[in-house]
C-alpha cells in the first residue's frame, strides 16, 4: 500500500500525463489520406468542375467534390462556358492548390475527388457555388462541407447569381 505522500505524488504525475496527452490535438480520422495536406499544380481545366492536376509526381484527373457545373462537352449547357472560365480564373494553369480529400477518394470514372484551395485560402468548390456557377450536390459519403455548400447555393439562388439568373 502506498503512503499518503506516495499516493499524492502518483496521482499528481498521472494527472499531468493525462493533461499533456490531451494537448496533442485531434487524432487522424479513419479515411484520412496521406495526401490530405498536399499541394498540386493545375495542368489544365476540363470544365467547370473538372481539371488535371500534377500531384505527388502523378498527373491526375480531378473532380471537385460537392458541386456540379453545367457541361461544356459534348453539348454546351447554359452557363457551362462561364463556369469553366470561373474555374480557370480561380485555378489557372500553373497555380498551386492545396488539396483535401474526404472519405471516398475516387469517383466511378477513377477521378480524384477533392476539395481545392488557392494559395490565398479561397475554397474553390465553395466559391463556384457562391458565385452561381455550380449547384451543390451531395457525393456520399463525402459530406464534410455539405452544409456550407448547400447554404452558398441557397444564397446564390436567392440573389439570382450566375446560372440562377441566366438558365
Catalytic residue set: 63, 71, 111
How far apart are the C-alpha atoms of 68 and 139, rounded to whole Å? 10
DSSP summary character for residue 76: P
The torsion angles phi and psi of 163, rounded to 5 degrees, stand at -65, -25
Q: Which phi and psi angles does 43 have, rounded to 5°?
A: -100, -40
Phi, psi of 106, deg, nearest 5: -140, 150
What is the C-alpha separation between 5 and 13, in angstroms, rounded? 12
DSSP for 29-75?
PTT--TTTT-EEEEEEEEETTEEEEEETTEEEEEEETTEE----SSS
Amino acid at each position: 500500500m502506498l503512503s499518503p505522500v506516495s499516493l499524492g505524488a502518483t496521482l499528481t504525475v498521472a494527472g499531468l500525463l493525462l493533461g499533456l496527452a490531451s494537448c496533442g490535438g485531434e487524432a487522424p480520422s479513419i479515411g484520412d489520406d496521406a495526401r490530405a495536406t498536399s499541394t498540386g499544380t493545375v495542368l489544365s481545366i476540363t470544365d467547370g468542375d473538372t481539371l488535371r492536376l500534377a500531384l505527388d509526381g502523378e498527373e491526375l484527373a480531378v473532380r471537385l467534390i460537392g458541386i456540379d457545373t453545367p457541361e461544356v462537352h459534348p453539348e454546351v449547357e447554359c452557363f457551362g462556358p462561364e463556369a469553366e472560365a470561373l474555374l480557370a480564373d480561380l485555378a489557372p494553369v500553373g497555380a498551386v492548390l492545396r488539396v483535401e480529400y474526404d472519405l471516398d477518394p475516387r469517383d466511378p470514372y477513377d477521378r480524384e475527388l477533392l476539395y481545392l484551395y488557392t494559395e490565398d485560402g479561397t475554397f474553390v468548390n465553395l466559391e463556384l457555388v457562391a458565385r452561381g456557377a455550380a449547384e451543390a450536390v451531395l457525393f456520399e459519403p463525402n459530406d464534410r462541407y455539405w452544409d456550407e455548400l448547400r447554404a452558398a447555393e441557397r444564397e446564390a439562388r436567392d440573389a439570382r447569381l450566375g446560372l440562377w439568373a441566366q438558365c
